[in-house]
Amino acid sequence: MQRYTNALIKELEILPSFNPRTIFFGGGTPSLLTLSQWEQIVMTLERLGFTDAEEWTAECNPATVSTEKAKLFRDIGVNRISMGVQSFDENLLERLGRIHSREQVFKSYDILRAAGFDNINIDLMFAIPGQTMAMWRETLRQAVNLGTEHLSCYEVIYEQDTPLFAQLQAGEFDVNEDLACDMYEELVQLSGENGFIQYEVANFGKSQNGEGEIPSRACKHNVNYWRGGFYYAVGPSAAGYEPEAGCIGVRTRNWANTEMYCELVEKGRRPLESREKLTKLERAGEVAGFGLRMNAGWPYDSFLSATGFDLRREWQAEMKKLENDGLAIIEPKRFRLNGRGMRFADAAAREFLKTA
């Protein structure tokens, strides 16, 4: 862990100078790092001028939150916490291989509130094998009752080399797509009834001042992804989209192997596995697809400003197809997916990908 921390610091030092609007520590369990290791990283961020971000999120596993660590996060400028709860059911947590218990969720949540965090997201999963609709409703009820400002809710994914995938392959359970769809509908309805605004397929935020389709508690870092913004990525397997003179931008991906990552950074090299330049049309197609994950869809003027392309001209046929399939709505000033379309947002996004 210390070698990894040193490599992370070194990679930060290699990056070009810039002023981040948001910072997100996640894609794993960064709260596993010790207080000393966090202090080393933060000292580097301060030295490089990276700590004035408008939004700074740190992901936490409920089993790794302590009073000391919560205070340190708050003191160094972290102002948003994303806690990987997944479920409030002990049996489902065990099935998912989670290291925390139900009680640790409540304890960690109280610790974070006591430390002064007023912007907490809770990650939940649905369509877990063995999860009934009644269990899902109870999980949502308990999450809402906590008073969290944001919910991120994802259908379980069966990835290779995981215990769940092996169980699926062995026929220990069946995937019930109809139940998964019903659970998603329950999520949308129950969250709306409790003051959450759905602003993206899987994300629901509270609104402080009666804002419109993008609530004030929306994750600004993720909105930047969906709106086609630039971002630098640090750490093993991290993916970025960086600005570069003379082109629309460069997609990057770091090596996933931690040993290789550390070795490359220790030699003073960026640990890039791939580096890809896209054409303007290819990038615009990606931006269109990502943006449709948001309830607001794409206002035509905003898309033109972001990409230089007119959505109605380049993708007129695709927009009409999705509308005819009952997945989207073509409005005078914007194009967006409807409720059913949001359920199939990935399939809709594929319609907009272009090669040039």
**Residues 195, 301 share a domain:** no
- Which pair of tokens denotes residue 172? 């220990």
Q: Is residue 134 part of a domain?
A: yes
User: Where is the domain boundary, 218, 239, 257?
Assistant: 218
Do 181 and 304 share a structural domain?
A: no
Question: What is the pLDDT at residue 340?
Answer: 92
> Is there a domain that residue 201 lies in?
yes
Q: How are beta strands 250-254 and 80-86 bridged, if at all?
A: unpaired
Residues 172 and 54 in one domain: yes
Q: What is the mean pLDDT of residues 343-352?
A: 93
User: Are residues 329 and 183 both part of a single domain?
Assistant: no
- Which of 218, 235, 270 is the C-terminal boundary of a domain? 218
- Indicate whether 159 belongs to any domain: yes
Q: How many domains does the chain have?
A: 2
- pLDDT at position 173 is 76
Residues 208 and 303 in one domain: no
Contact 31, 64 (CB under 8 A): yes
- What pLDDT does 91 receive? 87
Threshold 0.85, pTM exceeds: yes
Residue 88 lies in a domain: yes
Residue 148 placed within a domain: yes
User: In 3-state terms, what secondary structure has residue 57?
Assistant: strand
Mean of the per-residue pLDDT values of the chain: 92
Residues 33 and 175 in one domain: yes
Element (H, E) at 81: strand 80-86
Residues 208, 308: one domain? no
Is residue 213 domain-shared with residue 297, that is, in the same domain? no
Domain end marker among 192, 218, 244: 218
Q: In this structure, are residues 313 and 281 in contact, taking their beta carbons and an 8 Å threshold? A: no
The three-class DSSP label of residue 22 is: strand
CATH number at residue 62: 3.20.20.70
Among the ranges given (25-29, 129-133, 230-234), the one the predictor scored with the smallest mean pLDDT: 25-29
SS3 17: coil
Could you tell me if residue 261 is inside a domain? no
pLDDT tens-digit map of 4-43: 999 999 999 999 888 899 999 987 778 888 999 999 999 9
Strand 272-277 vs strand 250-254: parallel, antiparallel, or unpaired?
A: antiparallel
Same domain, 209 and 299: no
CB count within 10 Å of CB 145 equals: 9
Helices (H), the chain: 2-14, 35-47, 67-76, 90-96, 102-114, 133-146, 163-169, 177-193, 220-226, 258-266, 280-291, 300-307, 311-314, 316-324, 339-343, 345-350
Domain that includes residue 298, residue range: 293-350
Same domain, residue pair 91 and 190: yes
Question: Residue 94 has what pLDDT?
Answer: 84
What's the token pair of residue 195?
């003051």
* Residue 1, pLDDT score: 93
**What is the percent of the chain with per-residue pLDDT over 90, rounded to a whole number?**
74
Q: In this structure, are residues 171 and 163 in contact, taking their beta carbons and an 8 Å threshold?
A: no
In a domain, 345, yes or no: yes
SS3 category, 80: strand
Residue 94 in tokens = 């065990």
Residues 167 and 51 in one domain: yes
281: in domain: no
Q: What is the pLDDT of residue 155?
A: 92
Q: Looking at the structure, tell me whether residues 199 and 57 fall in a common domain.
A: yes
